[in-house]
Chains A and B, each alone.
Chain A
């Protein structure tokens, strides 16, 4: 008996030693290394590269990088009204899209949750916009918003919302941002719908029934019970939409190219114009650093504020 205990303790000791050995499958380094290497390529390397190259400018005539000290940074913050314009448009875009998608998503999710017939089929159909390639979705809406033949445009003209001199796309660009927002809302409202539906399905039925018995009406049940209980899923949904909205690029590239008169140019698109259209790589890198900082900071702060855990 005593022998067996001794043998066992020896065994477990051995096991522990084995566990501490570097070349063993207990060492998390081997499990994590490949992914971390890959991800460095996508995050730390671009950040360092952009920081480094923000001090340079590429001279496309001489094909060399010229050291320009902090001039790119000074220009960005003091002397670039186009950047400020792009920043304002991006913030507008993010705010409008987020609010509209969240409210629409909540309403439609509540509708789908109140058990209409064929709700399963309808849910499946509502997924489709979300998995359509954004480039294709942009083209779809370019046709729907065509100033002459577009179904949406014709609808807007006939209901008097718009006049022909100021169409959705083109014209002076008054509605250029709206025309892009429409695609975003079409594609990503389903995201909120599905996520809120998931939250509604996981809701404790007893609580809702108890509230109903106690005489809470539909609106009270919604605002006092359902929405507070949905808080968790909604914060996650907002986090993902927030960071994705900040980097809006595809729709703008496909539909408006930032125009007319820069009235739909987001920061992402402006950075792209600098780097690929005007070959101002150094300046593009500078904007790149700003966008990265914005994305990371907002994600980090948001995660801290709402205590999101993965």
Chain B
């Protein structure tokens, strides 16, 4: 009797319990719906500017500059894309879009073709990333493996170059480049992008090397590898995914970089995509929103695709390995 009273639950109690659980369950469900809706609203707010910009690039002006603003697609046009992709001339498109030339914009009538600038940007970002990765891999390995004096100082030195304000650096670099003939050359800009991305790559890769146990190096060296052999044959292969992620991030940062690209180049052929888009802006009175949005969308879409692959390393990259997302 004494043992059974404790577990002896009446039917009413059982039913009440079930009712309670059902209510709890319903409450959780409602909570989840509310949370999802609220998050959705926030996400929409964050994505909206990009959506609006992309919409602008395929919409005729008469559906863009309306009061109240519209967000639908009453008509689409490929005109802006045709111009920036070099399929049609600027004046033809202006004629069919607004019934006349709106005035020649900053880039001139034939200067709106973004394709050569994309090629230029890709070459600058690609080559600078390559150099960064080669230099940074060695440095990161050394900072992760060797016990040396001043190691913390070196790490802080690398970190502090990440904190350098660009405007304070661009003037000395600009004057030096003019002296030694690197101003307005692709090589000079690549060099600048290398030093901008180097601290990021070094400290990010150091965090990846830190994840690989030192025993692995020791084992390789006991088996007859030199230090370099252990690094090159064994450890680098272990951090390959990290290397790939760091490379993609460096490429994105170089692709998006604005200040140095603006002030270390002058000839249009050497300008990168973000700098070029700015020249579509009103130097002759009108701002070519359609062309800017088409070129801008073309500039961000590859980055959006790239970032899908390195999503989970993005925070780690931006904090130089301090926070592992």
Interface, chain A (partner B; CB < 8 A): 24-26, 28, 31-32, 34-36, 38-39, 41-43, 45-46, 49-50, 53, 108, 111-112, 114-119, 122-137, 139-141, 143-144, 148-149, 151, 154, 186, 189-191, 194-195, 197-199, 233, 236-237, 240, 243, 246-247, 249-250, 253-254, 268-269, 271-272, 275-276, 281, 284-285, 287-289, 291-292, 294-296, 299-300, 303, 308, 310
Partner of A135 from the list B278, B318, B322, B324 (CB cut-off 8 Å) is B278
For B289, the chain A residues whose CB sits under 8 A away are 143
Partner of B68 from the list A154, A236, A300 (CB cut-off 8 Å) is A154
> Closest B-chain residue to A58, C-beta based?
B175
A186-B49, A308-B322 in contact; A35/B307 too (CB < 8 A)? no
> Closest A-chain residue to B322, C-beta based?
A236
A194-B325, A195-B319 in contact; A276/B263 too (CB < 8 A)? yes
The reply to whether A46 and B164 contact each other, CB–CB distance below 8 Å, is: yes
The reply to whether A149 and B65 contact each other, CB–CB distance below 8 Å, is: yes
The reply to whether A246 and B161 contact each other, CB–CB distance below 8 Å, is: no
The reply to whether B194 and A38 contact each other, CB–CB distance below 8 Å, is: yes
- Tell me how many residues of B have a C-beta within 8 Å of chain A: 98
Closest 8 CB pairs of A and B: A31-B142, A288-B168, A116-B36, A25-B228, A35-B139, A247-B165, A135-B274, A49-B172
Partner of B195 from the list A38, A135, A240 (CB cut-off 8 Å) is A38
The reply to whether B167 and A291 contact each other, CB–CB distance below 8 Å, is: yes
The reply to whether A125 and B47 contact each other, CB–CB distance below 8 Å, is: yes
Q: B149-181: contact bitstring with A at CB < 8 Å (1 yes, 0 no)?
A: 000001111111111111111011111100000
Partner of A149 from the list B64, B136, B324 (CB cut-off 8 Å) is B64
> Closest A-chain residue to B325, C-beta based?
A198
Q: Does B141 contact A (CB under 8 A)?
A: yes
The prevalent SS among residues of A at the interface is helix
For A129, the chain B residues whose CB sits under 8 A away are 46, 49-50
Within 8 A of A (CB), among B279-325: 281, 289, 292-293, 296, 299-300, 303-304, 307-308, 311, 314-315, 318-325
| 28 residue pairs bridging A and B, Cβ less than 8 Å apart | A25-B231, A31-B139, A32-B143, A42-B196, A46-B168, A108-B42, A116-B40, A133-B256, A133-B273, A133-B300, A134-B256, A136-B53, A140-B296, A148-B65, A149-B65, A149-B69, A151-B69, A154-B67, A189-B46, A191-B315, A197-B325, A240-B318, A249-B259, A268-B165, A268-B167, A276-B263, A288-B172, A295-B164
The reply to whether A39 and B300 contact each other, CB–CB distance below 8 Å, is: no
The reply to whether A296 and B163 contact each other, CB–CB distance below 8 Å, is: yes
Interface, chain B (partner A; CB < 8 A): 32, 35-36, 38-40, 42-43, 46-47, 49-50, 52-53, 56, 64-69, 135-136, 138-139, 141-143, 146, 148, 154-169, 171-176, 191, 194-196, 198-199, 202-203, 206, 226-228, 231, 252, 255-256, 258-259, 263, 273-275, 277-278, 281, 289, 292-293, 296, 299-300, 303-304, 307-308, 311, 314-315, 318-325
Residue among A53, A124, A135, A303 having the largest count of chain B Cβ atoms under 10 Å: A135
